[in-house]
Amino acid sequence: MFSYRHAFHAGNHADVLKHTVLIAALQYLTEKDAALTVLDTHAGAGLYRLDGDYAKTSAEAADGILRLAAASASTPLTPALQAYLELVRSFNTGHSTKVYPGSPFIIQHLLRAHDKLKLFELHPSDMRSLAGNVAQLEAGRQVAVLHEDGFEGIKKFLPPPARRALVLCDPSYEIKSDYGKVLDMVQDSLKRFATGTYAVWYPIIPRPEAHDLPRRLKTMAQKAGKSWLHATLTVKSSKITETLEGQTKRPGLPASGMFLINPPHTLKAALKDALPQMATLLAQDKHATHTLESGS
């Protein structure tokens, strides 16, 4: 069984990037009246306590959402980051940030009554937490929680009834085969439903598969004649350093990216403003930077 638990990482810089992109995309996709189906292939537990044991152990949110929240007191945030912060704050009282909504709750918050959300989660305890958290929503038949492999499970929902869908694919990449599975899933999904919006998060780490993933998604989009957008956020150097005691120190996740096929046409402008501010506010050293590329 996997050891990855998103509770250790909730609200970190990668979540800031992923969830800001997710919110900006959903704001656009929910402007049209027609029903939207959202498929979250790797849902996680749904809600996280930033003052709980998991988050306190890693303290990753301190360099992510909490830094952004603190900066917002003196720095006006760009609209996409402000929308992200406001959405997170809507799960909290006052200006304290103790609860962090994962992708299932961010998505559900933005959906209209006639939209649908399908959540896939394989880990038994995250699945239990997710099902319990979703039950509190009393969202009825709008939200389905499925204890299934998201890579396979989404097939039965594509194409969706109203032919409008967003697929968020956010694996932990704990196993190397996840990279290939993401590519197979996107390829297969484009055959089933060519006009869907596909959003893939991936870590930028020194591993060939991680390096290849965005390159191969771009080739796939280009071959299918689809528009694409690729955003990355780096917060620190990826160099392995040595401590004074001579021990090797790994930097933790230094950067991550979001690759979208059929992105909303408004997304690039939103990120053009938000990404430089993300890189400035979340910088952990002088290597912090961002990239934004798109094509059609």
Residues 159-198 that bind ligand SAM (CB under 6 A): 170-172
Is 13 near ligand SAM (CB under 6 A)? no
d(CA 272, CA 280): 13
Is 54 near ligand SAM (CB under 6 A)? no
Is 259 near ligand SAM (CB under 6 A)? no
Is 63 near ligand SAM (CB under 6 A)? no
**Quick one: 60 or 121, whose CB is closer to ligand SAM?**
121
Residue range at the interface with ligand SAM (CB under 6 A); choices 62-70, 109-117, 135-143, 148-156:
148-156
Q: Tokens 């961010």: give the residue.
A: 106
- Residue 225 backbone class (left: φ over 0; alpha: ψ -120 to 50; beta: rest): left
d(CA 136, CA 208): 42
Residue range at the interface with ligand SAM (CB under 6 A); choices 66-74, 121-129, 229-237, 268-276:
121-129
Is 56 near ligand SAM (CB under 6 A)? no
Burial 257-288 (b: 16+ CB within 10 A, else e): bbbbbbbbeebbebbeebbebbbebbbbeebb
Structure token digits, residue 65: 């959402």
Active site residue: 170, 184, 188, 285, which one? Answer: 170
d(CA 133, CA 121): 13
Interface map 29-48 toward ligand SAM (x if CB under 6 A): -------------xxx----
Q: What backbone phi and psi angles, to 5 degrees, belong to 230?
A: -130, 115
Contact 134, 87 (CB under 8 A): no
**Quick one: 131 or 249, whose CB is closer to ligand SAM?**
131
Count the neighbouring beta carbons within 10 Å of the beta carbon of residue 115: 22
Is 60 near ligand SAM (CB under 6 A)? no
Residue range at the interface with ligand SAM (CB under 6 A); choices 107-115, 116-124, 229-237, 283-291:
116-124
Residue range at the interface with ligand SAM (CB under 6 A); choices 115-123, 158-166, 210-218, 248-256:
115-123
Is 150 near ligand SAM (CB under 6 A)? yes
Q: Which of 39, 68, 110, 120 binds ligand SAM (CB under 6 A)?
A: 120
| Amino acid code (one letter) for 25 | A
Active-site residue, 178 included: no
| Residue 112 CA neighbour count, 13 Å, CB half | 12
Contact 103, 44 (CB under 8 A): yes
Which residues of this protein are in contact with ligand SAM, per CB under 6 A?
Answer: 2, 4, 6, 18, 42-44, 102-103, 120-123, 126, 149-151, 170-172
Binding residues for S-adenosyl-L-methionine: 19, 42, 103, 121, 149-150, 170
Question: Which residues have a catalytic role annotated?
Answer: 170
